[in-house]
Chains A and B, each alone.
Chain A
Amino acid sequence: MPATLNRDEDILQAAQDWQKAGHGVALATVVETWGSAPRPAGSSLVINDDGTFLGSVSGGCVEGAVVTEALDVIANGQPKMLEFGVADETAWNVGLSCGGTIRVFVEKVGG
């Protein structure tokens, strides 16, 4: 199989490679979903301290917010649970327009 970057496996390899190259790295993983969430539990996004990211936790709606939070997690090392959903005012702001709710666990790699 040719390696493709949209697969979760390559995301985890990227996390390892970035860390080896000296980057601060965080991993964000969908842990719970309700309603019509765009990506299932287990989907992940890996972020480095440049703000570069790979993978997805939604259809692109909340990745921007997750990356911002991930940079905090890289800086302070404390894991964090994020929730995005239609019942949440801030979720509208970042635009989870699909009608679902997701919880995303963000942790530092090597933290």
Chain B
Amino acid sequence: MKTETLAELNAERAARRPVILVTDTANGAQRLVKASDIVADPLRAELSKQLRMGKSGMIEAADGRKLFLNVYAPTARLVVIGAVHISQALAPLARALDYDVTVVDPRTAFASPERFPDVPLIAEWPDVALPTLNVDHYTAFVAVTHDPKIDDPALLHAFERDCFYIGALGSRKTHAKRAERLRAQGAKDSDIARIHAPIGLNIGAVSPSEIAVAIMAEITAQLRLPPKEKEEAA
């Protein structure tokens, strides 16, 4: 590997931008493909498939060369707005699925280390907490406080940062009211349509733990399914 390739690879990874290193294993020739350049790449089908699955692997190119595609995708993160009962079940479950989890809730009675052992907690309002978190596309964003003062500004931040998943707790009726409020604050209809609400796959979840499973299943589908199947699952 060339020194410049390694330096570029490390810089992209530090910036949480996904890259794929393509190596011709017959002679060691390499090139680095940034996610934003995949659409124009001759290997675009293979590259986008491996990136979506977050998996490295060997492929055979059209000319018969064997190429190793090494995928460097940023660690997926979960930001949970609301240190509520559901979040107590959600945080450990998400960690078991390899997400870096952060819980934000300005209400210190909720955001206490006793209720969330070992989970990074920020007991601040979203406008203070979120800018420090560097929320990005590889972040799943979940708002579960049921309090518009806390959830609404957080959701506006999630739109702005293009999170791959945005979910909010509440019935269809609650969500309709939320959509009106967000629209009044300048959110676009296309942004509001990105919110998964009612939150989670419909598996008949009742308890906080079951709701956590439904949420993580929906996030997994959003992360892993190809676009067409994603629409069918939604």
Contacts and interface: CB of A to CB of B under 8 A. Distances in A.
A31 B25 contact: yes
Interface residues of B, number: 22
B3 A110 contact: yes
Interface stretch (A11-19, A60-68, A91-99): A11-19
Given A31-B68, A42-B70, A81-B25, A110 B2 contact: yes
B133 to A, nearest CB: 12
Interface string B199-228: 000000000000000000000000000000
A105 B6 CA distance: 16
Contact of B71 (A1, A13, A15, A42): A42
Contact of A16 (B7, B56, B71): B7
Contacts of A16: 6-7, 10
B199 to A, nearest CB: 26
A110 B55 CA distance: 26
Interface residues of A, number: 22
A109 B7 CA distance: 11
A40 interface: yes
Secondary structure dominating the interface of B? mixed
Contacts of A100: none
Secondary structure dominating the interface of A? mixed
A110 B27 CA distance: 15
B58 A79 contact: no
B13 A12 contact: yes
A19 B70 contact: no
A109 B55 contact: no
B106 to A, nearest CB: 23
A86 interface: no
Given A27-B1, A40-B56, A109 B70 contact: no
Nearest to A108: B1
Contact of A41 (B1, B9, B55): B55
25 contacts: A1-B100, A9-B13, A9-B72, A12-B6, A12-B9, A12-B10, A12-B13, A15-B6, A16-B7, A16-B10, A19-B6, A27-B1, A29-B70, A31-B25, A31-B56, A32-B58, A40-B55, A40-B56, A41-B55, A42-B55, A42-B70, A79-B25, A81-B25, A105-B23, A111-B1
Given A42-B71, A109-B3, 13 more contacts: A9-B13, A12-B10, A12-B13, A15-B6, A29-B70, A31-B58, A41-B55, A42-B55, A42-B70, A105-B25, A109-B1, A109-B6, A110-B3
Interface of B: 1-3, 6-7, 9-10, 13, 23, 25, 27-28, 55-58, 68, 70-72, 75, 100
**Top 4 A-B residue pairs of the complex, sorted by shortest distance between their CB atoms:** A42-B56, A79-B28, A110-B3, A41-B56
